[in-house]
Amino acid sequence: MKQNIIRTLSLLLVLLSVIGGGRLFADENTVNLESVVIQSFDDPAKEPWFTIPSKFATAGFPKLTYYKTWPIALYGSNADNKDLKALGIAMLFDRKEYNWVDIVPGTKDQPIEIPLPGRVKMLDMWVWSGNYDYYLEAYIRDYKGIVHILPMGDLNFVGWKNLRVNIPDNVPQSKKYLPRRETLSLVKFRIWTRPTEVVSTLTGNPAATDIDRAVKFYFDNIKVLTDTFETLFDGDTLTRPEAIQEAWGSGEKK
């Protein structure tokens, strides 16, 4: 009889630990995935970008513009007549090489990095290409200051195409200590040429200007697929920046 009671109690303890452990496991793995637009390029004053070329760039290039265009697959015919724009980049080089152009948020006097909300699973954007054998990279920075280079893909396609890249698991977005979540930031994009591909067009037309000969790309609708779920706990508000500022200010002794 005594052995049966002990066996029953042991079984109950095992069941309770399994149930408790299951709750903890489920809580830690809860996700709330959201699609968040980071840059639409519809308001150039609020979303400035600039370019930096490698050394063989033709004088005056690259050039950057905001033009009223959009991917029909994304916005359709724009029946609401919204003021949609895309970011245009015109590249021109004096020789074939592994040339590159950086497309950087902010201004030349004040470059910025764009914070990426939540724990990012995927970076996504639309790119227009004229079928050039170039390729695109995204540069993101983690909370430790390390910059990670993500391959967005080749640009040898015609028209608009949706490009995306998963954020690798080895890119840290949280830590052991509070506050656990640590956001990534978008540093820049880089377009690379390949030495076997042309760096200018219309070379046989003497009437063509440099802008006619330039290789052109357009960017639109940069967004992230991100997990915004955060486990709540007793005192979680104390990790919020506004609470820290209110409680501690600059941190100087008074």
Are 129 and 157 in contact by the 8 Å Cβ rule? The answer is: yes
Confidence (pLDDT) at 205: 82
The CA distance from 158 to 86, in Å, is: 16
pLDDT of residue 173: 82
- pLDDT value at residue 103: 98
- The domain segmentation of the chain, as residue ranges, is 33-230+240-248
Q: Return the pLDDT at 15.
A: 44
Half-sphere exposure of 116 (CA within 13 A, CB side): 27
Q: How far apart are CA 16 and CA 158, in angstroms?
A: 59
Amino acid 163: pLDDT: 98
Average pLDDT by consecutive 10-residue portion of the chain (254 residues)?
53 45 42 90 95 97 97 90 95 96 97 94 97 98 95 98 95 68 90 96 85 97 86 57 72 57
Do residues 183 and 38 touch, judged by C-beta distance below 8 A? no
pLDDT at 14: 44
Q: Which fold has domain 33-230+240-248?
A: Jelly Rolls (2.60.120)
pLDDT of residue 80: 86
Query: SS3 string of 79-134?
Result: CCCCCCCEEEEEECECCCCCCEEEEEEECCCCECCEEECCEEEEEEEEEEEECCCC
pLDDT at 246: 76
CA atoms within 13 A on the CB side of 209: 5
- Quick check: pTM over 0.85? no
pLDDT of residue 245: 76
**What pLDDT, on the 0 to 100 scale, is given for residue 90?**
98
pLDDT at residue 202, as a whole number: 80
Q: What region, left, alpha or beta, does residue 145 occupy, with left being phi > 0 and alpha being psi -120 to 50 degrees?
A: left
> For residue 120, how far is the Cα from the chain centroid?
8
| Residue 225 burial (10 A CB sphere; 0-12, 13-18, 19+) | middle
How much is the pLDDT for 227? 87
